[in-house]
Amino acid sequence: MRRMPRPLALLLNVAHALDHLFLLIFATAVATIAAEFGFARWEDLMPFGVGAFVMFGLGSLPAGRLGDTWGRRQMMLVFFFGIGASALLVALTRNAWQMAAALTLVGAFSAIYHPVGIPMLVQRAKNPGATIGINGLAGNLGIAAAAIVTGFLVKWIGWRAAFVVPGVVAIACGFLFMRLAPRESEPPAARKRNAGAELPAALLARVFAVMTAASASGGLLFNLTTNGNSQLLAERMRGIVEDPATLGTLLAAVYALASLAQVVVGRLIDRLSLKRLYLTVVLAQVPLLLLAAQAQGWWLYAGLLGVMILVFGAIPFTDAMIVRYVDDRMRSRVAGMRLSVSIGISSLAVWLLGPAVKAAGFATLLLVLAGVALLTSAIVSWLPGDRAVARARAEAAAGAAAGE
Protein backbone atom coordinates (compact mmCIF):
# COMPACT_ATOMS: atom_id res chain seq x y z
CA MET A 1 0.00 0.00 0.00
CA ARG A 2 1.17 3.51 -0.73
CA ARG A 3 2.17 5.67 2.22
CA MET A 4 -0.44 8.08 3.48
CA PRO A 5 -0.14 11.59 1.97
CA ARG A 6 1.48 14.00 4.42
CA PRO A 7 -1.40 16.53 4.44
CA LEU A 8 -3.83 13.78 5.43
CA ALA A 9 -1.47 12.41 8.09
CA LEU A 10 -1.05 15.95 9.43
CA LEU A 11 -4.82 16.39 9.62
CA LEU A 12 -5.19 13.09 11.51
CA ASN A 13 -2.59 14.32 13.99
CA VAL A 14 -4.44 17.64 14.34
CA ALA A 15 -7.58 15.61 15.08
CA HIS A 16 -5.74 13.94 17.97
CA ALA A 17 -4.79 17.35 19.34
CA LEU A 18 -8.39 18.52 19.11
CA ASP A 19 -9.65 15.35 20.78
CA HIS A 20 -7.59 15.95 23.92
CA LEU A 21 -8.12 19.69 23.87
CA PHE A 22 -11.91 19.36 24.01
CA LEU A 23 -11.75 16.92 26.92
CA LEU A 24 -9.74 19.33 29.08
CA ILE A 25 -11.35 22.71 28.40
CA PHE A 26 -13.84 22.17 31.21
CA ALA A 27 -11.18 21.12 33.73
CA THR A 28 -9.09 24.19 32.88
CA ALA A 29 -12.00 26.66 33.11
CA VAL A 30 -13.91 24.92 35.93
CA ALA A 31 -13.21 27.58 38.57
CA THR A 32 -14.63 30.35 36.36
CA ILE A 33 -17.65 28.26 35.31
CA ALA A 34 -18.33 27.28 38.94
CA ALA A 35 -18.42 30.93 40.01
CA GLU A 36 -20.90 31.81 37.23
CA PHE A 37 -23.14 28.85 38.02
CA GLY A 38 -23.25 29.72 41.74
CA PHE A 39 -20.90 27.09 43.19
CA ALA A 40 -18.76 28.13 46.15
CA ARG A 41 -15.90 25.73 45.23
CA TRP A 42 -14.67 24.33 41.91
CA GLU A 43 -14.46 20.85 43.45
CA ASP A 44 -18.27 20.77 43.71
CA LEU A 45 -18.74 21.37 39.95
CA MET A 46 -16.01 18.96 38.81
CA PRO A 47 -18.14 15.77 39.05
CA PHE A 48 -20.55 17.21 36.45
CA GLY A 49 -17.84 16.65 33.83
CA VAL A 50 -17.58 12.89 34.39
CA GLY A 51 -20.10 12.07 31.64
CA ALA A 52 -17.63 13.18 28.98
CA PHE A 53 -15.02 10.71 30.17
CA VAL A 54 -17.49 7.88 30.69
CA MET A 55 -18.67 8.27 27.09
CA PHE A 56 -15.06 8.66 25.94
CA GLY A 57 -14.63 5.08 27.14
CA LEU A 58 -17.99 3.46 26.48
CA GLY A 59 -18.38 5.08 23.07
CA SER A 60 -15.10 3.57 21.91
CA LEU A 61 -16.69 0.12 21.54
CA PRO A 62 -19.31 1.03 18.89
CA ALA A 63 -16.92 3.53 17.31
CA GLY A 64 -14.26 0.84 16.82
CA ARG A 65 -16.77 -1.62 15.40
CA LEU A 66 -18.12 0.95 12.94
CA GLY A 67 -14.57 1.94 11.98
CA ASP A 68 -13.82 -1.64 10.88
CA THR A 69 -17.20 -2.54 9.40
CA TRP A 70 -18.48 0.78 7.99
CA GLY A 71 -15.25 2.66 7.28
CA ARG A 72 -12.67 4.80 9.04
CA ARG A 73 -13.08 7.77 6.69
CA GLN A 74 -16.81 8.03 7.41
CA MET A 75 -16.27 7.75 11.15
CA MET A 76 -13.63 10.50 11.15
CA LEU A 77 -16.10 12.82 9.42
CA VAL A 78 -18.60 12.06 12.18
CA PHE A 79 -15.84 12.88 14.69
CA PHE A 80 -14.96 16.30 13.27
CA PHE A 81 -18.49 17.56 12.74
CA GLY A 82 -19.93 15.95 15.87
CA ILE A 83 -17.35 17.17 18.36
CA GLY A 84 -17.38 20.67 16.87
CA ALA A 85 -21.18 20.96 17.07
CA SER A 86 -21.35 19.56 20.61
CA ALA A 87 -18.71 22.05 21.79
CA LEU A 88 -20.93 24.87 20.51
CA LEU A 89 -23.77 23.38 22.58
CA VAL A 90 -21.59 23.50 25.71
CA ALA A 91 -21.13 27.24 25.16
CA LEU A 92 -24.93 27.69 25.25
CA THR A 93 -25.46 26.00 28.63
CA ARG A 94 -26.85 27.95 31.59
CA ASN A 95 -26.55 25.57 34.54
CA ALA A 96 -24.59 22.59 35.78
CA TRP A 97 -26.97 19.89 34.51
CA GLN A 98 -27.11 21.39 31.02
CA MET A 99 -23.31 21.53 31.14
CA ALA A 100 -23.15 17.86 32.18
CA ALA A 101 -25.40 16.81 29.28
CA ALA A 102 -23.49 18.81 26.68
CA LEU A 103 -20.10 17.58 27.95
CA THR A 104 -21.39 13.99 27.77
CA LEU A 105 -22.15 14.60 24.10
CA VAL A 106 -18.61 15.93 23.59
CA GLY A 107 -17.32 12.72 25.16
CA ALA A 108 -19.43 10.56 22.86
CA PHE A 109 -17.88 12.10 19.74
CA SER A 110 -14.39 12.26 21.26
CA ALA A 111 -14.59 8.46 21.67
CA ILE A 112 -14.26 8.04 17.91
CA TYR A 113 -10.70 9.23 17.42
CA HIS A 114 -8.53 6.66 19.23
CA PRO A 115 -10.07 3.43 17.86
CA VAL A 116 -10.51 4.91 14.37
CA GLY A 117 -8.02 7.71 13.71
CA ILE A 118 -4.90 5.96 15.03
CA PRO A 119 -5.48 2.66 13.13
CA MET A 120 -6.15 4.75 10.01
CA LEU A 121 -2.87 6.60 10.52
CA VAL A 122 -0.65 3.55 11.14
CA GLN A 123 -2.13 1.14 8.58
CA ARG A 124 0.43 2.28 5.98
CA ALA A 125 3.26 3.26 8.35
CA LYS A 126 6.74 1.86 7.71
CA ASN A 127 7.85 2.64 11.30
CA PRO A 128 4.67 2.42 13.37
CA GLY A 129 6.37 3.22 16.67
CA ALA A 130 7.68 6.53 15.36
CA THR A 131 4.29 7.30 13.79
CA ILE A 132 2.53 6.61 17.09
CA GLY A 133 5.08 8.76 18.91
CA ILE A 134 4.49 11.76 16.65
CA ASN A 135 0.74 11.21 16.92
CA GLY A 136 1.09 11.14 20.70
CA LEU A 137 3.05 14.40 20.57
CA ALA A 138 0.16 15.94 18.64
CA GLY A 139 -2.36 14.70 21.17
CA ASN A 140 -0.47 16.12 24.10
CA LEU A 141 0.11 19.41 22.34
CA GLY A 142 -3.67 19.49 22.36
CA ILE A 143 -3.52 19.15 26.14
CA ALA A 144 -1.02 22.01 26.24
CA ALA A 145 -3.27 24.07 23.98
CA ALA A 146 -6.20 23.40 26.33
CA ALA A 147 -4.19 24.95 29.17
CA ILE A 148 -2.92 28.03 27.38
CA VAL A 149 -5.76 28.75 24.91
CA THR A 150 -8.46 28.23 27.52
CA GLY A 151 -6.57 30.41 30.00
CA PHE A 152 -6.31 33.34 27.62
CA LEU A 153 -9.81 33.00 26.16
CA VAL A 154 -11.32 32.88 29.65
CA LYS A 155 -9.34 35.97 30.64
CA TRP A 156 -10.03 38.03 27.51
CA ILE A 157 -13.49 36.94 26.33
CA GLY A 158 -15.03 34.39 28.72
CA TRP A 159 -15.27 30.65 29.23
CA ARG A 160 -17.88 30.20 26.50
CA ALA A 161 -15.40 31.35 23.87
CA ALA A 162 -13.04 28.59 25.07
CA PHE A 163 -15.55 26.09 23.62
CA VAL A 164 -16.72 28.09 20.58
CA VAL A 165 -13.31 28.75 19.02
CA PRO A 166 -12.11 25.09 18.99
CA GLY A 167 -15.59 23.99 17.92
CA VAL A 168 -15.41 26.15 14.79
CA VAL A 169 -11.87 24.87 14.11
CA ALA A 170 -13.05 21.24 14.34
CA ILE A 171 -15.88 21.80 11.87
CA ALA A 172 -13.48 23.51 9.45
CA CYS A 173 -11.12 20.52 9.76
CA GLY A 174 -14.05 18.25 8.92
CA PHE A 175 -14.58 19.96 5.58
CA LEU A 176 -10.83 19.79 4.88
CA PHE A 177 -10.74 16.07 5.75
CA MET A 178 -13.66 15.48 3.38
CA ARG A 179 -11.54 16.88 0.55
CA LEU A 180 -8.24 15.20 1.44
CA ALA A 181 -9.27 11.69 2.51
CA PRO A 182 -9.93 9.31 -0.42
CA ARG A 183 -13.01 7.15 -0.25
CA GLU A 184 -12.34 3.61 0.95
CA SER A 185 -12.95 0.87 -1.60
CA GLU A 186 -13.95 -1.49 1.21
CA PRO A 187 -14.03 -1.35 5.01
CA PRO A 188 -11.04 -2.84 6.87
CA ALA A 189 -13.01 -5.90 8.04
CA ALA A 190 -13.60 -6.94 4.42
CA ARG A 191 -9.91 -6.99 3.51
CA LYS A 192 -7.86 -10.13 3.02
CA ARG A 193 -6.76 -11.90 6.17
CA ASN A 194 -3.05 -11.64 7.05
CA ALA A 195 -2.44 -14.98 8.74
CA GLY A 196 1.25 -14.36 9.38
CA ALA A 197 0.45 -11.34 11.55
CA GLU A 198 -1.95 -13.16 13.87
CA LEU A 199 -1.21 -14.60 17.30
CA PRO A 200 -2.75 -17.76 18.76
CA ALA A 201 -6.02 -16.97 20.54
CA ALA A 202 -4.67 -17.71 24.06
CA LEU A 203 -1.66 -15.42 23.66
CA LEU A 204 -3.74 -12.69 22.04
CA ALA A 205 -6.17 -12.86 24.99
CA ARG A 206 -3.23 -12.45 27.38
CA VAL A 207 -1.92 -9.44 25.48
CA PHE A 208 -5.40 -7.93 25.41
CA ALA A 209 -5.79 -8.44 29.18
CA VAL A 210 -2.44 -6.77 29.88
CA MET A 211 -3.02 -3.81 27.57
CA THR A 212 -6.52 -3.25 28.99
CA ALA A 213 -5.52 -3.47 32.65
CA ALA A 214 -2.36 -1.40 32.17
CA SER A 215 -4.31 1.16 30.18
CA ALA A 216 -6.94 1.38 32.94
CA SER A 217 -4.43 1.94 35.74
CA GLY A 218 -2.31 4.22 33.59
CA GLY A 219 -5.47 6.04 32.54
CA LEU A 220 -6.28 6.78 36.19
CA LEU A 221 -2.87 8.40 36.50
CA PHE A 222 -3.30 10.31 33.23
CA ASN A 223 -6.82 11.57 33.99
CA LEU A 224 -6.13 12.57 37.58
CA THR A 225 -3.02 14.52 36.62
CA THR A 226 -4.23 16.24 33.46
CA ASN A 227 -7.57 17.17 35.03
CA GLY A 228 -6.06 18.21 38.35
CA ASN A 229 -2.79 19.89 37.33
CA SER A 230 -4.38 23.29 36.73
CA GLN A 231 -5.74 23.47 40.28
CA LEU A 232 -2.62 21.78 41.74
CA LEU A 233 -0.42 24.42 40.16
CA ALA A 234 -2.70 27.23 41.37
CA GLU A 235 -2.56 25.88 44.94
CA ARG A 236 1.17 25.15 45.14
CA MET A 237 2.23 28.37 43.30
CA ARG A 238 0.04 30.67 45.43
CA GLY A 239 1.98 33.79 46.36
CA ILE A 240 4.44 33.22 43.49
CA VAL A 241 2.25 33.17 40.37
CA GLU A 242 -1.50 33.76 40.59
CA ASP A 243 -2.58 35.16 37.19
CA PRO A 244 -4.71 32.45 35.46
CA ALA A 245 -3.24 33.16 32.02
CA THR A 246 0.32 32.91 33.35
CA LEU A 247 -0.48 29.68 35.19
CA GLY A 248 -2.01 28.33 32.00
CA THR A 249 1.15 29.23 30.09
CA LEU A 250 3.34 27.48 32.69
CA LEU A 251 1.19 24.36 32.51
CA ALA A 252 1.18 24.46 28.71
CA ALA A 253 5.00 24.56 28.81
CA VAL A 254 4.98 21.41 30.98
CA TYR A 255 2.73 19.60 28.53
CA ALA A 256 4.65 20.79 25.46
CA LEU A 257 7.99 19.60 26.85
CA ALA A 258 6.51 16.36 28.19
CA SER A 259 4.96 15.65 24.79
CA LEU A 260 8.41 15.27 23.26
CA ALA A 261 8.81 12.12 25.36
CA GLN A 262 6.31 10.37 23.11
CA VAL A 263 8.44 10.99 20.03
CA VAL A 264 11.49 9.56 21.80
CA VAL A 265 9.58 6.56 23.18
CA GLY A 266 7.91 5.94 19.80
CA ARG A 267 11.29 5.67 18.10
CA LEU A 268 12.64 3.43 20.85
CA ILE A 269 9.64 1.08 20.48
CA ASP A 270 10.77 0.33 16.91
CA ARG A 271 14.24 -0.64 18.20
CA LEU A 272 14.00 -2.06 21.75
CA SER A 273 12.03 -4.66 23.69
CA LEU A 274 8.55 -3.20 24.23
CA LYS A 275 8.08 -4.92 27.59
CA ARG A 276 11.38 -3.76 29.13
CA LEU A 277 10.96 -0.22 27.86
CA TYR A 278 7.39 -0.01 29.18
CA LEU A 279 8.45 -1.27 32.63
CA THR A 280 11.29 1.25 32.81
CA VAL A 281 9.02 4.21 32.02
CA VAL A 282 6.30 3.17 34.49
CA LEU A 283 8.63 2.40 37.41
CA ALA A 284 10.39 5.76 36.98
CA GLN A 285 7.07 7.52 37.68
CA VAL A 286 7.04 6.43 41.34
CA PRO A 287 9.86 8.55 42.86
CA LEU A 288 8.78 11.66 40.95
CA LEU A 289 5.19 11.33 42.19
CA LEU A 290 6.51 11.00 45.74
CA LEU A 291 8.56 14.17 45.24
CA ALA A 292 5.60 16.09 43.80
CA ALA A 293 3.44 15.08 46.75
CA GLN A 294 5.60 17.14 49.12
CA ALA A 295 7.01 19.91 46.91
CA GLN A 296 5.90 23.54 46.79
CA GLY A 297 6.53 26.47 44.45
CA TRP A 298 9.10 25.99 41.71
CA TRP A 299 10.16 22.60 43.13
CA LEU A 300 6.61 21.42 42.55
CA TYR A 301 6.79 22.78 39.03
CA ALA A 302 10.00 20.84 38.36
CA GLY A 303 8.55 17.66 39.86
CA LEU A 304 5.36 18.07 37.85
CA LEU A 305 7.40 18.37 34.66
CA GLY A 306 9.18 15.10 35.43
CA VAL A 307 5.93 13.33 36.27
CA MET A 308 4.23 14.44 33.06
CA ILE A 309 7.24 13.47 30.90
CA LEU A 310 6.87 9.90 32.17
CA VAL A 311 3.06 9.87 32.12
CA PHE A 312 3.06 11.03 28.50
CA GLY A 313 5.96 8.73 27.70
CA ALA A 314 3.85 5.72 28.72
CA ILE A 315 0.98 6.56 26.36
CA PRO A 316 2.34 5.09 23.06
CA PHE A 317 2.71 1.56 24.43
CA THR A 318 -0.91 0.38 24.22
CA ASP A 319 -1.30 1.60 20.63
CA ALA A 320 2.06 0.01 19.80
CA MET A 321 0.84 -3.31 21.22
CA ILE A 322 -2.25 -3.20 19.01
CA VAL A 323 -0.13 -2.51 15.92
CA ARG A 324 2.40 -5.19 16.83
CA TYR A 325 0.01 -7.97 17.84
CA VAL A 326 -3.32 -7.34 16.01
CA ASP A 327 -4.06 -7.57 12.27
CA ASP A 328 -5.33 -4.34 10.66
CA ARG A 329 -8.67 -5.94 9.76
CA MET A 330 -9.74 -5.79 13.41
CA ARG A 331 -7.55 -3.11 15.01
CA SER A 332 -10.38 -0.61 15.45
CA ARG A 333 -12.55 -3.21 17.20
CA VAL A 334 -9.73 -4.35 19.50
CA ALA A 335 -8.84 -0.75 20.27
CA GLY A 336 -12.50 0.04 20.90
CA MET A 337 -12.91 -2.89 23.31
CA ARG A 338 -9.72 -2.00 25.15
CA LEU A 339 -10.66 1.66 25.42
CA SER A 340 -14.23 0.92 26.45
CA VAL A 341 -13.05 -1.04 29.46
CA SER A 342 -9.95 0.91 30.42
CA ILE A 343 -11.27 4.44 29.93
CA GLY A 344 -14.62 3.47 31.42
CA ILE A 345 -12.72 2.62 34.61
CA SER A 346 -10.24 5.48 34.51
CA SER A 347 -13.01 8.01 33.83
CA LEU A 348 -14.00 7.57 37.47
CA ALA A 349 -10.95 9.72 38.18
CA VAL A 350 -12.79 12.80 36.93
CA TRP A 351 -15.74 12.10 39.23
CA LEU A 352 -13.44 11.39 42.20
CA LEU A 353 -11.01 14.25 41.66
CA GLY A 354 -13.00 17.10 43.22
CA PRO A 355 -14.28 15.17 46.27
CA ALA A 356 -10.88 13.49 46.82
CA VAL A 357 -8.95 16.78 46.78
CA LYS A 358 -11.59 18.42 48.99
CA ALA A 359 -11.40 15.59 51.55
CA ALA A 360 -7.69 14.67 51.56
CA GLY A 361 -5.73 17.24 49.54
CA PHE A 362 -3.34 16.97 46.63
CA ALA A 363 -0.50 15.48 48.72
CA THR A 364 -2.52 12.36 49.54
CA LEU A 365 -3.77 12.11 45.95
CA LEU A 366 -0.22 12.11 44.57
CA LEU A 367 0.84 9.41 47.06
CA VAL A 368 -2.05 7.26 45.85
CA LEU A 369 -0.95 7.84 42.26
CA ALA A 370 2.54 6.53 43.14
CA GLY A 371 0.79 3.32 44.21
CA VAL A 372 -1.14 3.25 40.94
CA ALA A 373 2.17 3.47 39.03
CA LEU A 374 3.45 0.44 40.98
CA LEU A 375 0.27 -1.45 40.12
CA THR A 376 0.74 -0.64 36.43
CA SER A 377 4.30 -2.00 36.51
CA ALA A 378 3.06 -5.26 38.04
CA ILE A 379 0.51 -5.61 35.23
CA VAL A 380 3.07 -4.88 32.50
CA SER A 381 5.41 -7.55 33.88
CA TRP A 382 2.86 -10.16 32.70
CA LEU A 383 3.20 -9.08 29.06
CA PRO A 384 4.80 -11.86 26.94
CA GLY A 385 8.33 -11.14 25.78
CA ASP A 386 9.34 -10.61 22.16
CA ARG A 387 10.83 -14.11 21.82
CA ALA A 388 7.64 -15.79 23.08
CA VAL A 389 5.55 -13.77 20.64
CA ALA A 390 7.86 -14.52 17.69
CA ARG A 391 7.85 -18.26 18.51
CA ALA A 392 4.05 -18.40 18.83
CA ARG A 393 3.58 -16.45 15.60
CA ALA A 394 5.97 -18.79 13.71
CA GLU A 395 4.17 -21.86 15.04
CA ALA A 396 0.80 -20.44 14.01
CA ALA A 397 2.07 -19.63 10.50
CA ALA A 398 3.56 -23.13 10.16
CA GLY A 399 0.28 -24.69 11.26
CA ALA A 400 -1.68 -22.61 8.74
CA ALA A 401 0.74 -23.61 5.93
CA ALA A 402 0.43 -27.29 6.85
CA GLY A 403 -3.36 -26.99 6.80
CA GLU A 404 -3.28 -25.64 3.26
Q: Residue 15: what pLDDT?
A: 96
222 confidence band (pLDDT: 50, 70, 90): confident
pTM: 0.78
Percent of the chain with pLDDT over 90: 35
Nearest CA-CA partner of 261 in 302, 215, 310: 310
Give DSSP secondary structure letters for 30-97. HHHHHHHTT-SSHHHHGGGGHHHHHHHHHTHHHHHHHHHHT-HHHHHHHHHHHHHHHHHHHHT--SHH
CA distances from 24 to 28, 54, 314, 350 (A): 6, 14, 19, 11
Q: Residue 186: what pLDDT?
A: 82
* Angstrom distance (rounded) from CA 234 to CA 254: 14
Q: Residue 103: what pLDDT?
A: 95
Q: Which amino acid is at 100?
A: A
Q: Quick: pLDDT tens for 157-213.
A: 989 999 999 999 999 999 999 999 998 888 887 776 655 456 777 788 888 888 888
pLDDT of residue 156 exceeding 80:
yes
pLDDT of residue 1 exceeding 60:
no
What's the chain's average pLDDT?
Answer: 86
pLDDT of residue 390 exceeding 80:
no
Counting runs of H as helices and runs of E as strands, what totals does the chain give?
A: 19, 0
- CB atoms closer than 10 angstroms to residue 231: 21
Q: Residue 194: what pLDDT?
A: 58
**Greater pLDDT, 249 or 354:** 249
Element containing residue 28 per DSSP (H, E): helix 6-36
Range with the poorest average pLDDT among 126-140, 199-213, 275-289: 199-213
6-403, CATH topology level: Growth Hormone; Chain: A; (1.20.1250)
Report the pLDDT averaged over residues 357-382: 88
Q: Which amino acid is at 44?
A: D
**Greater pLDDT, 219 or 299:** 299
